[in-house]
């Protein structure tokens, strides 16, 4: 009996020692990775004049100094436009001064302030915004900057360990160890913009994280944060009266809208492969994305992508696509889920013709549509 107790104690000690060794090894890897990527991480401050009581004003961080607050309150009383300070993150993708950030950080501004890891504050030009991914391209006048290499986001799987590196709660270049909670998510940004094929990131992602880099174990950017999942704040897409929607779409808010710092249920990030295909176009200031004009959603227990929203006067609306239609084929290829539609459309150009296989109730039909061009913001 005494020998059994001794052996059990030795086994427990061995387990504890092994666990401690694993944790210490993980800690060394994470800290080394953070040191490697932090020089390429920047903070971005954008600003624009907007109406004091506009919907957009509630999404942006207001000036924190007492003098700035007094000016803001005076402008509110006079119902005049007020300058809004929006602070977010970004990372350098090219050593010649090209920076990716979240579109919400710089939307409506021609210029922004970029603070580098070495402390320099530079004026950045907002070159383009890709509305399909909610990502913006900024250019600063600098050379030989430390750029973050781009990885292959298709290799990520649920459970993959990643780092989220960016501004959180006003603190620059914050590091959070996160996991990929899911792929091919659909999200709602604000009340109008619907994005698909997103990465769901589980971890500490809070205020100011818009534009933060999602980094893999090799120190490569595999995603860019564009929204946080905020507990307690939901947004529902209206149910079609004649065709109930299936396949829930989660509600999200921009990172700068998060009401409680740290009160985050994780975030949504755009896979870097979705951005890589238009990087050159973003640098020229003109991004051309194909536009169909629907929001597809997965069906519960069935294949196909159900149409849960049709944009008025879009190519889909003009072709007769209706709420509740189920897309089963796209140009001869089967559609098993909503992500299939989004992924194939991203590889197409405005003016391309597609044929959709549609299931409407018990009726099957084919509809040919010429894709339009998604409106993009170019300052």
Region of 33 on the Ramachandran plot (φ > 0 left; ψ -120 to 50 alpha; else beta) = alpha
pLDDT at 188: 64
The pLDDT of residue 147 is above 60? yes
Distance CA 342, CA 370 (A): 16
DSSP letter at 232 equals T
- Both tokens assigned to 51: 């109406």
DSSP letter at 240 equals P
Three-class DSSP category at 20 = helix
pLDDT at 287: 83
Phi, psi of 9 (to 5 degrees): -65, -40
237: confidence class by pLDDT, cuts 50, 70, 90? very low
The full set of domains in the chain, from first to last, is 39-140 (2.40.10.10), 153-284 (2.40.10.10), 290-373 (2.30.42.10)
Per-residue pLDDT, averaged over 215-220, amounts to: 94
Confirm if 292 and 345 have CB atoms less than 8 A apart.
yes
The average confidence (pLDDT) of the chain is 78
Owner of token pair 């090209």:
98
pLDDT in tens, 41-97: 999 988 654 444 444 433 334 444 556 555 545 544 544 444 445 788 999 999 999
pTM: 0.71
**CA-closest candidate to residue 131, choices 311, 308, 304:** 311
The pLDDT of residue 325 is above 80? yes
Confirm if 371 and 290 have CB atoms less than 8 A apart.
yes
Radius of gyration over every alpha carbon of the chain, rounded to an integer in angstroms? 23
Confirm if 252 and 189 have CB atoms less than 8 A apart.
yes
**CA-closest candidate to residue 89, choices 16, 38, 55:** 38
Lowest mean pLDDT among 78-82, 131-135, 224-228, 328-332: 78-82
pLDDT at 47: 61
């Amino acid at each position: 009996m005494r020998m059994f107790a001794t052996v059990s104690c030795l086994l427990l000690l061995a387990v504890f020692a092994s666990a401690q060794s694993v944790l210490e090894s993980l800690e060394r890897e994470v800290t080394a990775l953070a040191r490697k990527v932090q020089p390429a991480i920047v903070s971005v401050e954008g600003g624009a004049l907007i109406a004091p009581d506009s919907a957009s004003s509630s999404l942006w961080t207001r000036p924190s100094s007492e003098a700035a607050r007094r000016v803001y309150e005076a402008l509110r009383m006079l119902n005049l436009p007020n300058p809004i300070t929006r602070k977010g993150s970004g990372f350098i993708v090219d050593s010649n001064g090209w920076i990716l950030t979240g579109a919400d950080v710089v939307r409506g501004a021609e210029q922004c302030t970029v603070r580098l890891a070495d402390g320099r504050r530079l004026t950045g030009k907002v070159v383009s915004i890709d509305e399909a991914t909610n990502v913006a391209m900024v250019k600063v006048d600098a050379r030989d900057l430390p750029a973050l290499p781009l990885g292959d986001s298709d290799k990520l799987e649920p459970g993959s360990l990643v780092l989220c590196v960016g501004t959180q709660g006003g603190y620059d270049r914050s590091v959070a160890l996160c996991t990929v909670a899911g792929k091919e998510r659909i999200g709602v940004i604000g009340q109008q913009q619907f994005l698909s094929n997103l990465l769901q990131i589980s971890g500490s992602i809070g205020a100011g994280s818009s534009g933060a880099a999602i980094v893999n174990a090799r120190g490569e950017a595999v995603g860019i944060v564009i929204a946080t999942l905020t507990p307690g704040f939901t947004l529902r897409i209206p149910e079609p009266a004649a065709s109930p929607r299936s396949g829930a779409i989660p509600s999200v808010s921009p990172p700068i809208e998060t009401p409680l710092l740290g009160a985050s249920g994780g975030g949504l990030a755009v896979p870097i492969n979705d951005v890589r295909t238009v990087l050159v176009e973003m640098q020229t200031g003109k991004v051309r994305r194909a536009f169909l004009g629907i929001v597809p959603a997965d069906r519960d227990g069935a294949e196909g992508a159900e149409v849960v929203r049709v944009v008025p006067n879009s190519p889909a609306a003009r072709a007769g696509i209706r709420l509740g239609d189920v897309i089963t084929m796209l140009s001869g290829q089967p559609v098993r889920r909503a992500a299939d539609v989004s992924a194939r459309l991203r590889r197409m150009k405005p003016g391309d013709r597609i044929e959709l296989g549609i299931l409407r109730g018990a009726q099957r039909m084919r509809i040919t549509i010429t894709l339009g061009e998604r409106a993009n913001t170019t300052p």
